[in-house]
Structure formats: C-alpha cells, structure tokens
Homo-oligomer: A and B are copies of this chain.
Amino acid sequence: MNHQYSAVVLGVGPERGLGATLAKHFANKGLHVFIAGRSEDKLNIVADSIGNRGGVATAVVADATKEYDVSHLFEVIKLHGSPLLIAAYNVDSNIPAPILDTETEIFTQLWLQNCLGAFVFAKEAIANMKPNQQGTLFFTGATASLRAKPPFIAFASAKAALRALAQGLAREFSPQGIHVVHTIIDGVINGDRAEQQFSEYYKSKGEEGLLKLEAIAETYWSIHCQHPSAWTHELDLRPFKEPF
C-alpha cells in the first residue's frame, strides 16, 4: 500500500472511543489517516497503534472549537498531498443539567463543540474535496437531534443544529460529488467516554445494550463505499436491545 488517499478524523480521544476506532478502520482500508483531538498523549497512543498494525497515521493536536487549529489541521493534510476521501467530524460533547442550572457558558460550549466546530471543519473538508469532486463527509450525530428531553436540552439543541447543518450541506454539495452523511447514534457506545461519564447508566445497559465501536465503524465504511447513484444521507444506529 502506498497510501495515495487520506482520511481525517476530528474528535479522536481515548483508544477505546469512536474517533480512534474510525481512524483505525480507515487506516486498515489503506488510507493515510490524520487524527486530531485535544490530547497529544491520546493521539499518540492511537497513532502508534495504527502504525504498529502497518497503517499510516499523522497526529495533529487540535481543538475543534478553535478555527485556527482546524485550519492548521487541513494545512497539514494539504501539505501531505494525497486527496482526502473521508472527513469525519466526531466531536461529541454532552453535559446534562436542568435548564435553570445550565450556565450560558455551558450552553455555548456544547454548541461550539457539537456544531460550530463541525461548520469550520466542513468548510475546510469541502474546500479540499471539491476539486476532485469526491469524498465523504461524516457527522456523528445523536437521537437528541430529533427529540429534546431534559436534562439534555443544551446537548439536544446543539445536535439539532448539527443535524440541520449536515442536511443543508448534503443539499448543497451532493450534486458536486461530495457525500454528506449524518449518523444518528441512538444509545450508549461501548467506549471509555460513556463508561466514565455515564457510569451507572453504562453498566445498566449490559453488554448487549451497548453500541460496539467496530460495528459503527463498519457501517461508516459501507456508507462511504456507496455508489453515488444511491447515497444515504442519514441513518440511525442502535443496539438491538435499545428501546426507542
């Protein structure tokens, strides 16, 4: 493999997380993977893991809410020179609270992370992909984008904003050959983040009640591989045991 094509995942954290899993999956398929997130340590672990399995990964420290960081990420990608086939915005931030206890700062932060970062990322990714008239742009969304329930109102509002952004981008750029996909993750992911942030809830789900990381990544890849004559813009992903 000479890695003529590349992918980028923004929102790579713990190795047992969706960002890292998507990156590994794309690396396994032969893409040079650019992985970005706030923690250099975590990125290095993921990059090493990919390298050890014969893949090629470049770690770029970036905070999705900082326009400069995102621009820099895409400059690094551009310098490398191989066309971007996949760009996945995988930042997902959720801080549950009753609305009267939600500070403006928190409400804003969730929007910056779940939506504004996606907007900046999307513009850069599309600018990179447009000349080649190909590429898949993924946004990892949530059921909350469809139904706002306390104590997740701030999260839901931010994810609804993301969903609308993704839908608009699909309408604007699909005809130009860019496949824009919004996934609705409905349930708890079997990863470090949920295990730590929603520990009790996580345990209550049991093994069969959690979304497996690799299973999600496989669907992302299938959707990326769709022929342009039958593209999917939106799909839900949920454990078979999950009530909905």
B237, A236: Cβ atoms under 8 Å?
Answer: no
A229, B236: Cβ atoms under 8 Å?
Answer: no
Residues from chain B with Cβ under 8 Å of A229 in the complex: 190, 208, 210-212, 215, 239-240
Q: Mark A204-244, 1 if CB is under 8 A from B, else 0.
A: 00001011101110110011011111111111111111111
B107, A119: Cβ atoms under 8 Å?
Answer: yes
A218, B226: Cβ atoms under 8 Å?
Answer: yes
Question: Is A164's beta carbon under 8 Å from chain B?
Answer: yes
Residues from chain B with Cβ under 8 Å of A234 in the complex: 235-236
Q: Which single member of B214, B223, B228 contacts A240 (CB below 8 Å)?
A: B228
Question: Is A175's beta carbon under 8 Å from chain B?
Answer: yes
Question: Is A67's beta carbon under 8 Å from chain B?
Answer: yes
Which 4 pairs, one residue from A and one from B, show the smallest C-beta to C-beta distance?
A: A153-B168, A148-B168, A160-B164, A215-B227
Residues from chain B with Cβ under 8 Å of A111 in the complex: 111, 115-116, 161
Q: Mark A89-100, 1 if CB is under 8 A from B, else 0.
A: 000000000111
Q: Which single member of B153, B162, B172 contacts A150 (CB below 8 Å)?
A: B172
Which of A's residues lie within 8 Å of B, judged by CB?
67, 98-100, 102, 104, 107-108, 111, 115-116, 119-120, 122-123, 126-127, 144-145, 147-150, 152-154, 156-165, 167-172, 174-175, 177, 179, 190, 208, 210-212, 214-216, 218-219, 222-223, 225-244
Residue of B nearest to A163 (CB): B160
Residues from chain B with Cβ under 8 Å of A240 in the complex: 174-175, 177, 179, 228-229, 231
Can you pick out 5 interface pairs between chain A and chain B where the beta carbons lie within 8 Å of each other?
Answer: A156-B167, A174-B238, A179-B240, A218-B230, A232-B236
